[in-house]
Amino acid sequence: MLHPIENEGARTHTSDKVWFITGASRGFGRIWAEAALERGDRVAATARKLSSIAGLTEKYGERVLALELDVTNADQVQSVVNQAHAHFGRLDVVLNNAGYSLVGTIEEATSDEVRALYETNIFGPLAVIRAALPLLRAQGGGHIVGVSSNLGHEVIPVIGYYCSSKWAFEAIHESLAAEVEAFGIKVTIIEPGAYATEFGSQQSLRFAGGMEVYEDFKTQVIAGIRSIERGDPNATPEAVFKVVDAENPPLRFFLGSHSLPSVRAAYERRLATWEEWEPVSRSAQGISK
C-alpha cells in the first residue's frame, strides 16, 4: 500500500506542467528547471544574464523559454511574466528562487547593503507574485512556490540580515496562502537546509565591511557554518515534484533531513522562555479574572 502522500502525488501527477522559475542559472533553480524539463514539463527559465541559461534552449528546444530577468526591476518582472504566460498559454508553478546572502554582523552591514538584500530576497519575489496573481486567477488556479530556508525559523549570527529576509518571506507567503485560497491558488514555502549548491559561492554572497571587534566571533561562526553536513541538491527534484503534484500541498515543506530536529529544538527553547516568563506576561494584561 502506498504512503498517503505518495498516493496523492501519484493520483494528481501530470507531466505537462508549465513552470516559471527565477534564478534558473545555477543551484536549485537550474537543477529543478532541468528536472522538470526531463520529465516532460515546460519551463520559462529566467536569469539575470541570458547567456547563463542559453544551454537550456539548446538542449530542450521549444519546451523551454529562456528570458533575461532582474527581479529587482518591477517593470521587467511584469513584462517577463506576461511574456511567459502568453508564450505557453498558462503558468502552473510560479517558483521564486532568486536570492543571495549578506555576510556581516548587524552593526557591520550598511543600510544600503541591507536594502539591496531585501530588494532581491523580498521585493523581487513580491513583484513576481503581483505580476502572476491576475493571470493565475483568470486561469482558475496555479501554485506559487517560494524558496525560503530553515533559517526562516531560526537564526545564525553573522548572516542575521539574510535570516531576517527569510522570516519576512515566510510571513508574506503564509498571509498570501489565506488570501488566495478562494481563487484555487496554492502556496508552498520550500525550506531547504544546507546543500552543496553554489549558494555559498562568491556569486551568491555579499560581504559587509569588517570591524576588528567582531573578527574572532565571525571566524568561529563561519567555521561552524562551513562544517555543517550538506545535502546533495541532485537528490531534491523528486521531493519537489511530490509537493507540486499534490492535490493538497503543504504550506511549509522542509527540504532535507536536518531542519526538523533543529527547528523543533529552536521552538522548544522559545516555548520554555515564554512559559518561564508567563506570570510576568499575564501581570501586564491589566484585566483580572
Which domains are assigned to the chain?
Answer: 4-278 (3.40.50.720)
Nearest to 21 by CA among 31, 13, 11: 31
Give all strands (DSSP E) within 119-169, no chain letters.
142-147
Q: In sequence order, which residues have a C-beta less than 8 Å from that of residue 68 and are 6 or more positions away? A: 46, 47, 48, 49, 50, 80
- Residue 226: the pLDDT is 85
Q: Could you give the residue numbers annotated as active site?
A: 148, 162, 166
**Helices (H) then strands (E): counts for the chain:** 11, 9
Q: Looking at the chain, how many residues does it have?
A: 289
Nearest to 55 by CA among 9, 28, 78, 24: 24
- Residue 200: the pLDDT is 52
Nearest to 242 by CA among 6, 14, 53: 6
- Residue 206: the pLDDT is 86
Low-confidence ranges of the chain (pLDDT < 70): 1-15, 198-204, 288-289
Cα 160 from Cα 105, distance rounded (Å): 7
For the entire predicted model, the pTM comes to: 0.90
- Residue 13: the pLDDT is 46
pLDDT tens digits, 75-102: 999 999 999 999 999 999 999 999 999 9
> In degrees to the nearest 10, what's the CA dihedral of 36, 39, 44, 45?
50
- Residue 203: the pLDDT is 58
Q: At 32, list the grid cell.
A: 529543478
Cα 187 from Cα 104, distance rounded (Å): 31
Cα 105 from Cα 211, distance rounded (Å): 9
pLDDT tens digits, 41-65: 999 999 999 999 999 999 999 999 9
- Helix, coil or strand: residue 91: coil
User: Do residues 143 and 249 make contact, with C-beta atoms less than 8 angstroms apart?
Assistant: yes
User: Do residues 158 and 218 make contact, with C-beta atoms less than 8 angstroms apart?
Assistant: yes
Residue with cell 511574456: 83
- Residue 207: the pLDDT is 86
